[in-house]
Amino acid sequence: MELCLHLPDFSRPFFIFTDASKYSLGCALVQEDASTGFHHPTAFASRKLGPSEISYATVEKECLALVFTITHFKNYLYGAHFNVFSDQQCLSRVKTLKDPTSRIARWFLTLQQYDYTIIYKPGRLNFMADCLSRATYLVDKQSDNTNSEEVHSVNAQFDVFNFSSIHELIEKQNKDPYCQNIKSKLNSNFVFSPKSPQFFIKDNLLLCKNNNM
């Protein structure tokens, strides 16, 4: 598992990792690299539990984490099958409960529009969501700011580099596998999702809609 954020590839399936702790929820949106088999995170998110949510039973907190994760990343997940990884075996059996609580039944009714499979993954392998579900609580304990944002998300960003010329930048792009992949898709008239960055090529230079790349 590489922890460097990657841009989403909407031609490949997504996976989500989810976890709940005593005070907060955490999750990660992940994709598998077709060439290496590595899992690359695309985005992270977490939020602290509200006063009433803290008193939920463990299985209810895990279900809440599932609802939070799927709805938070719905633009990536809706309309395609995806796997959900959780370190709570009980979560994989909740959908088959004959008499769920009204709260759990309501949550799973909300998720009926999504096509997903819940898979158990031991806690030691669910470390991204696990650490996020605890980090929010640790940050809140160290901060006196009661107006801090409850939802924390991380998205991929480009670093800013300085180049001596446009030709040098084009050469760097041509050697970069991700820029090569995007250029190849653009040249083959690949249709990108409206939610993804809007790339285009101008004078052999790969650009985004804000002319930065």
State residue 209's pLDDT score: 66
Instruction: Look at the alpha carbons of 44, 47, 53, 57 in this order and tell me if their dihedral is positive or negative.
Output: positive
Is the distance from CB of 18 to CB of 42 less than 8 angstroms? Answer: no
**What domains does the chain contain, in order, with CATH numbers?**
14-134 (3.30.420.10), 166-209 (no CATH)
Half-sphere exposure of 23 (CA within 13 A, CB side): 10
Q: Tell me the percentage of the chain whose pLDDT exceeds 70.
A: 70
**More confident call, 73 vs 6:** 73
* CA gyration radius, the chain: 20
pLDDT in tens, 13-34: 998 988 888 888 888 898 887 7
> Which residue is associated with the tokens 């991929």?
156
pTM score: 0.58
Q: What pLDDT score does 160 carry?
A: 45
Return the C-alpha torsion angle 46, 47, 53, 57, nearest 10.
Answer: 20
pLDDT digits (tens, 9 = 90+) for 22-77: 888 888 898 887 777 777 888 888 888 888 998 898 888 888 999 999 999 999 99
